[in-house]
Amino acid sequence: MRQQARSVARIVALRAIAQRFSLAVLLLASVGVMMIGKIDAVIVENLRSRVTDAVAPMLDAAARPVAAVNQVIADARAFLALREENARLAARVAELQHYEAVAHRLEAENLNLQALFNFHPEQTHAFITARVIADNSGAFVRSLAVNVGTRAGVGDGMAAVGGRGLVGRTVQTGERSARILLLTDLNARIPVLIERTRQRAVLAGDNTHQPSLAYLPPDSAPLAGDRIVTSGHGGLFPPGLPVGVVASIGDGLVRVEPFEDLSRLEHVRVLDFRAHTGGAAMRGIPGGGP
Amino acid sequence: MGTIGRSPWQKLDLWARAAAPSLSLLVLVMLGVMPLQLPGYGAVAPLLPLIGVYYWILHRPDLITFPVLFVVGLFQDLLTGGPLGVSGFVFLTIGWLVLSQRRVLAGMPVLVVWSGFAMIAAVAVGLEWLIISGLYGEILPVRPAIYRALVTGAAYPIVAVCLHPVLRTMTPPPPSA
């Protein structure tokens, strides 16, 4: 009897030691995994896109009812504000009619000048519309998962835009899903232009909702309200995509408010820009042709 | 106690009950990345799986093992796009912390358990902030981390209410636990 009690006590003690040992091993393994991610990002990114791919159908299915409920709420709200909306839009139309005339004149002038200089306009880009199936924006990462991947012709490094402006770029593409690094993420760096002054800068995310402009030329004088567009440098993004407006200038930091509300995206368009640029940088993208 | 004499269905049932806590953690990870389209939600999104970790270790420590916490952490990092290994480290540390404080917290009124979790959430998010800052080599903004800790703490009762029915369907723990 006593022997049995002793062996039970021994088993309990052994189990406690084994548990503590497994904790230590797993904590070390976590640190090891962090180091692997730091040294060889490719393995980790590969694994990431596989896991996202595997759960994409589930996330997609779950995202649909949420989107539907949001749509109903938005519809109800829009219905209530119909009269005001109408008055506002009528005023806006009157204002825009003036710009329409200006635009027609400028377009004609532009075509004339292009013909004069034998200018080759850039080819238009194809796009793939995707549904947002996961919003991974935590306190430390800003990214989305969408339900299109290599099967639909999406590749790494493509620009993702919403209805109003740039959202980010694709960073890992699986077969059925892709991750979009938002322009607010700490690791996002996008070559941009200040539209008014044509000065180049890099839009650097820092996990806040307003990324800042880095590498501004010293003589630049951005003003609040200046439009920021992609510059097209580096060849990743087409030039001239609207990004945002300068929101505040202070402490040597120029903050940009993105045009797109990044926290309520339901659909994004992935621009297949490089497939049409040709040359050495052209990559074979299935289904990406015109 | 053996499983001799049980039908395959009974075995499957037992297995499902034993695996329910681990599976619920995976579900919480996926719920955590649901696009809710609420303005500003992303920045303060609660660390939902942490609530599950706390809840299950408090109520059924025999059904959550350290390897499970490690795997759930990896899944969380892979899905959210965070640096791999960080959540695993955080969940393991928190798991160990809760296990060591379990005797103090078990059987306490709900409010005490909840405030216990609020402290745990602060520790977890602080640890996460510290590790990621170290990995990126720069000090990350503190405010989102504070909000994340607060929202995670506040989300405890909602998740706990959802996990409670799962706990009730379970067979009682073996007497030694």
- B chain contacts of residue A63, beta-carbon cutoff 8 Å: 34-35
| Mean of pLDDT values over A221-244 | 86
Question: A37 at the B interface (CB within 8 A)?
Answer: yes
B89 and A186: CB-CB below 8 Å?
no
Region B86-110 average pLDDT: 91
Per DSSP, the residues of B88-133 read HHHHHHHHHHHHHHHHHHTT--HHHHHHHHHHHHHHHHHHHHHHHH
| Residue B141 CA: distances (Å) to CA of A136, A182, A208, A220 | 18, 17, 8, 27
Please give the C-alpha separations between residue A55 and each of A50, A59, A91, A153, B83, in angstroms, as whole numbers: 9, 6, 47, 20, 19
Spatial separation of the C-alpha atoms in residues A165 and A230, rounded to whole Å: 10
- State whether residue A52 sits within 8 Å of chain B by CB: yes
Contact assessment for residue B52 and residue B63, using Cβ atoms and an 8 Å cutoff: no
Residue A234 neighbours by CB distance under 10 Å: 12
Nearest to A29 among B70, B75, B78 (CB): B70
| Tokens at A184, concatenated | 């607010």
Distance from the Cα of A279 to chain B's closest Cα (Å) equals: 32
- A214 and chain B in contact, CB less than 8 A: no
pLDDT at residue B6 is higher than 90: no
Q: What integer is the mean pLDDT of B113-140? A: 92
Give residue B15's pLDDT.
84
Q: pLDDT exceeding 90 applies to what percent of chain A?
A: 19
Q: Specify the range with the lowest mean pLDDT, choosing from A138-152, A161-175, B36-50, B150-164.
A: B36-50
Mean pLDDT of A188-195: 90
| DSSP class per residue in B74-89 | HHHHHHHTPPTTHHHH
Average pLDDT of B10-27?
Answer: 87
Q: Is B49 on the interface with A (CB under 8 A)?
A: no
Q: Which residues of B touch A186 (CB under 8 A)?
A: 136, 140
The pLDDT tens digits of the residues spanning A51-60 come to 888 888 888 8
CA distance A91 to A129: 32
Question: Minimal CA–CA distance to B151: which of B47, B40, B35, B28?
Answer: B47
The pLDDT tens digits for B22-31 are: 999 999 998 8
Partner-chain residue, chosen from B34, B73, B144, that has the shortest CB–CB distance to A62:
B34
The size of chain B, in residues, is 177
ipTM above 0.85, yes or no: no
The answer to whether the beta carbons of residues B122 and B149 sit under 8 Å apart is yes
Q: Give the model's pLDDT for residue A278.
A: 40
Average pLDDT over residues B87-95: 95
**Cα–Cα distance between A150 and A163 in angstroms, integer?**
23
In this complex, do B42 and A66 lie within 8 Å of one another by their Cβ atoms? no
Q: B134 and chain A: CB distance < 8 Å anywhere?
A: no
| Closest to A274 in 3D by CA, of A243, A242, A229, A237 | A237
Nearest CB to A138 within list B80, B131, B141: B80
Please indicate if any CB of chain B lies within 8 Å of the CB of A245. Answer: no
Please tell me whether residue A52 adopts helix, strand or coil conformation.
helix
Q: Which residues pair with A200 in a beta bridge?
A: A193
Task: Yes or no: say if A185 and A207 are a contact pair by the CB < 8 Å rule.
Answer: yes
Domain positions in chain B: 40-168
The pLDDT value given to residue A274: 58
**Residue A132 at interface with chain B, using a CB cutoff of 8 Å:** yes
> Which pLDDT score, from 0 to 100, does residue A1 have?
58
A77: tokens are: 């709200």
Question: Would the pLDDT of A167 be above 60?
Answer: yes
